[in-house]
A and B are shown apart, each in its own frame.
Chain A
């Protein structure tokens, strides 16, 4: 494998504590090295920023709902197609790009690891087929557990050993990475057209509450010592006044300490918090509660969040929160796709236009940024758009710009049609904090990698780590115009993925050697769970148990993280 030396770059690496020092970064045998031989190819990074490859903790880029989004929105492909090249396939799509485009666009921005945030287990093979066709980036997928009948019944009976055995089995069967929870109980209730809007609403027929589901899975996760914590999208997403439900959810983790060998310090990750930080009791008095939310997050070190920033684009919302999407289609009257998945989950898709001329959308935009700016520990707050829900991932550089430049934010605030109302309903106008490059590296690299339990592998530039390295053509101290931020982070000069140069001067030059990350969590064999699984497949599933597992050949270049209990 080629050796490289990236010379004289301005390096930001929270993993090693390097804050904008001019340094050389060496790459050898796919890893970061202390030194390289004289044969190493040299990259001149003078005056440029060098960071580790970025790590995406929450995105919807592969699987049944993503593909339904593609297939039912031909309009999303308008004006976005690019022909194939020497190293690339033809690729298109804006909010729901094709698999090829997903790989290319993430790589061009310097992202090298991307997690698919919701995998319905019954559709796991589909998720992996798409992951296989997504070039360059390492990927993992989170199977959904929060509406699973096995989980309901074991937790209801306080059978923690059985919960853990089932989690272990499902992760292995679906080649999944972590425990994802979406609208716990509510998505099952949607099987009857109902919902659980607070964490104490009972799930119809299952005699359990969302709070009990989340607490139970949290406990199981820590007992098993999985690399990532539970990854939660809680109840009552998207409704005015829901910040109280969000705080109720946060409190479930109080006093719980992490147990794992992966360097993770949180026991609870709450995703796309922007959608969960709403005050008021109607759209008329809708307002930001980002401060209340972040006050709690800042004070509780055993949790992490990601932002879910609204980018003010036309996009395609998609989630395993089936009742929410039905609610959304009744709000905006746009087309609605829904799939309820037997024994496991539901899901929905609705296109959405975040129009800056609409007061609510502009307030949502402000809330996402406020969450980022209120954060006191950038190692625990990560930048996402919940792609494509609050906006497409290709807008990340724009969000960086807004977070890093007070000027760009104030200009936006002033440009809104209902500017005064937006300013009154939010705190953004009074916030002059500007996220630094070092903090950006924390929020997009070191932080998410640590939260995912990958801190020794990616998200940093310490010798021995994977050589995922990015060179951006920007110098933090010489920025004259905020637009330079968006431009530089949108098209990296060079991107190395596991030591392979995949992007050079903004163009894809290699498809790299992408990997699929999954977690093999070993627990003692449990004959009751084995029997239960057989019985439920026989009686209630529509596929046979022996046709459920994702065979190894569907998993592209697997990287298995083994966990011993």
Chain B
């Protein structure tokens, strides 16, 4: 007999779908099927329950570059020792684990004078800076479902990156005031390229690469009825800009969703600054919100826990005995580039695959530990790789959706026998760090 578990939360992207149905075998060890999930989410579940390719015990790199299995106790000792000895360890990641685990990690960082940074460093960190400049008028995704008749996707491609976003919240659902679903909504996509998302758009503003800021400011001017200079603005005909502005103003409730196409392209936080100001301006005419399309399933949660514990959402430097925040200086990439950290701890992310090569080399140079259920480019360059149970599959814990709504991830299957979770591993490291610091 198989077992069916309902209301399962998907630990893939910031959409954090919580309506998955997972079928397991009788003894709850193997996942047989996943309903309701997108292809990526379903694969995450199915893949994780195939233990044949999993690393199930910590591994330590040998001099010849090969890995040798070690015990969890040895991994805990190694991790605690390098962190306790370090003057300024970089503790990076935190976006693919639970808030409970983040919290324990932060306590270790506080004791060791570490720098805590999450994946916003290479994603929506620019958004967080813009929010600190101008705020953010936003809403929950249910508000979008129930009210929104104007949707903008700017620099994002949910059809691929957040596959169920459009069906659950933004385009297709029929809500309380949006009984006609997609027919009631006008869609604008801003992207230099045609994408599977842009094919759904009423208007595709094919902005010239790197000119988002110009287009945003042009829209702000057009909304106010001010004349636009030039026939083509940021690669978009002037008439189309006016048309888009009119669509936005004429709606009753609009939302801008934006992604890394605009947070990490030329202009960075200034783009988001302008996008938020556009949203704010539109509130003089109608109701408008803006929501960041967060990537990792709990990158938002990492920022939340950092916020209530230290007051800043990412790039928090605890090395001076008080929390310091200065992105551009205290972020993971800058710290690695300046060769300022003397140890690296990675959990819940893969900087080896995403950081500039200079930073990757620096991680390889330093005493380092990577905590990850998978073998990744990061685990291959760190001194020790500690595999752990999958959060949201093999262990539960709180996560925050892209709109900051907290949803508790569920455990659906047992991890391979004897495997630790992030929380357990970090708790053991914390205890050992306390002992080492006491001596």
Inter-chain contacts of B176 with A (CB < 8 A): 149, 539-540
A544–B406 touching, CB < 8 Å: no
- In the assembled complex, A200 has its CB within 8 A of some CB on chain B: no
Q: Name the prevailing secondary structure of the A interface residues.
A: mixed
Q: Which residue of A lies closest to B290 (CB)?
A: A338
- Given A71-B313, A343-B142, A554-B398, A543–B407 Cβ distance below 8 Å? yes
- Given A71-B128, A98-B310, A335-B134, A342–B404 Cβ distance below 8 Å? no
- In the assembled complex, B294 has its CB within 8 A of some CB on chain A: no
- Given A129-B398, A192-B287, A329-B135, A342–B143 Cβ distance below 8 Å? yes
B322–A193 touching, CB < 8 Å: no
Binary contact readout A153-178 vs B (1 if CB under 8 angstroms, 0 otherwise)? 00000000000000000000000000
Min Cβ gap A97→B in Å is: 8
Inter-chain contacts of A67 with B (CB < 8 A): 304, 307-308
Q: Which of A90, A130, A540 contacts B321 (CB 8 A)?
A: A90
Inter-chain contacts of A84 with B (CB < 8 A): 110, 321
B308–A542 touching, CB < 8 Å: no
Q: How many A-B residue pairs have CB under 8 A?
A: 183
Q: Which residue of B lies closest to A350 (CB)?
A: B135
- In the assembled complex, A283 has its CB within 8 A of some CB on chain B: no
- In the assembled complex, A429 has its CB within 8 A of some CB on chain B: no
- In the assembled complex, A72 has its CB within 8 A of some CB on chain B: yes
Binary contact readout A523-565 vs B (1 if CB under 8 angstroms, 0 otherwise)? 0000000000000000111111011000100100000000000
Docked pose: A343 CA to B169 CA in angstroms: 14
- In the assembled complex, B220 has its CB within 8 A of some CB on chain A: no
Q: Which residue of A lies closest to B169 (CB)?
A: A542
- Chain A interface: which size bin? 35 or more
B304–A191 touching, CB < 8 Å: no
Min Cβ gap A259→B in Å is: 35
Binary contact readout A124-158 vs B (1 if CB under 8 angstroms, 0 otherwise)? 01100110010000000000000001000000000
Inter-chain contacts of B286 with A (CB < 8 A): 193
- In the assembled complex, A511 has its CB within 8 A of some CB on chain B: no
- In the assembled complex, A296 has its CB within 8 A of some CB on chain B: no
Inter-chain contacts of B122 with A (CB < 8 A): none
- Given A77-B325, A90-B310, A540-B145, A191–B287 Cβ distance below 8 Å? yes
- In the assembled complex, B147 has its CB within 8 A of some CB on chain A: yes
- In the assembled complex, B6 has its CB within 8 A of some CB on chain A: yes
- A-facing residues in B113-130 (Cβ within 8 Å): 128
B138–A542 touching, CB < 8 Å: no
Docked pose: A93 CA to B252 CA in angstroms: 38
A338–B289 touching, CB < 8 Å: yes
A193–B287 touching, CB < 8 Å: yes
Min Cβ gap B188→A in Å is: 20
- In the assembled complex, A226 has its CB within 8 A of some CB on chain B: no
Q: Which of B110, B135, B253, B307 contacts A90 (CB 8 A)?
A: B110
Inter-chain contacts of B238 with A (CB < 8 A): none
B406–A125 touching, CB < 8 Å: yes
Inter-chain contacts of B142 with A (CB < 8 A): 122, 341-343, 540-543
- B-facing residues in A179-208 (Cβ within 8 Å): 190-193, 205
A74–B138 touching, CB < 8 Å: no
- In the assembled complex, B62 has its CB within 8 A of some CB on chain A: no
- A-facing residues in B164-178 (Cβ within 8 Å): 168-169, 175-177
Inter-chain contacts of A89 with B (CB < 8 A): 107, 110, 309
- A-facing residues in B131-159 (Cβ within 8 Å): 131-143, 145-147
Q: Which of B6, B168, B325 contacts A74 (CB 8 A)?
A: B325
Docked pose: A328 CA to B381 CA in angstroms: 52
- In the assembled complex, B311 has its CB within 8 A of some CB on chain A: yes
Q: Name the prevailing secondary structure of the B interface residues.
A: mixed
Q: Which of B7, B175, B283 contacts A547 (CB 8 A)?
A: B7
Q: Which residue of B lies closest to A348 (CB)?
A: B137
B405–A543 touching, CB < 8 Å: yes
- In the assembled complex, B318 has its CB within 8 A of some CB on chain A: yes
- In the assembled complex, A76 has its CB within 8 A of some CB on chain B: yes
- In the assembled complex, B367 has its CB within 8 A of some CB on chain A: no
Min Cβ gap B45→A in Å is: 17
Q: Which residue of B lies closest to A543 (CB)?
A: B18
- In the assembled complex, B408 has its CB within 8 A of some CB on chain A: yes
B131–A72 touching, CB < 8 Å: yes
A339–B407 touching, CB < 8 Å: no
Docked pose: A93 CA to B312 CA in angstroms: 10
- In the assembled complex, A416 has its CB within 8 A of some CB on chain B: no
Min Cβ gap B310→A in Å is: 6
- In the assembled complex, B108 has its CB within 8 A of some CB on chain A: no
- In the assembled complex, B9 has its CB within 8 A of some CB on chain A: yes
Inter-chain contacts of B137 with A (CB < 8 A): 326, 336-338
- 12 additional A-B pairs beyond A191-B253, A335-B134, beta carbons within 8 Å, are A92-B323, A97-B311, A98-B309, A337-B138, A340-B138, A342-B146, A540-B142, A541-B142, A542-B405, A544-B7, A547-B407, A554-B408
Cross-chain pairs A/B with CB under 8 angstroms, 19 sampled: A71-B304, A89-B110, A92-B311, A99-B309, A122-B140, A125-B398, A129-B99, A149-B176, A191-B143, A191-B287, A337-B138, A350-B135, A540-B145, A542-B140, A542-B405, A544-B18, A547-B407, A554-B398, A554-B408
Residues of B within 8 A of A (CB): 6-7, 9, 18-19, 99, 103, 107, 110, 128, 131-143, 145-147, 168-169, 175-177, 252-253, 280, 283, 286-287, 289, 303-305, 307-313, 318, 321-323, 325, 398, 400, 403-408
The 10 closest A-B pairs by CB, nearest first: A342-B142, A335-B135, A81-B322, A542-B142, A83-B321, A340-B139, A193-B287, A546-B7, A338-B137, A125-B406
Residues of A within 8 A of B (CB): 62, 64, 66-68, 70-74, 76-77, 81-84, 89-90, 92-93, 96-100, 122-123, 125-126, 129-130, 133, 149, 190-193, 205, 326, 329, 335-343, 349-350, 539-544, 546-547, 551, 554
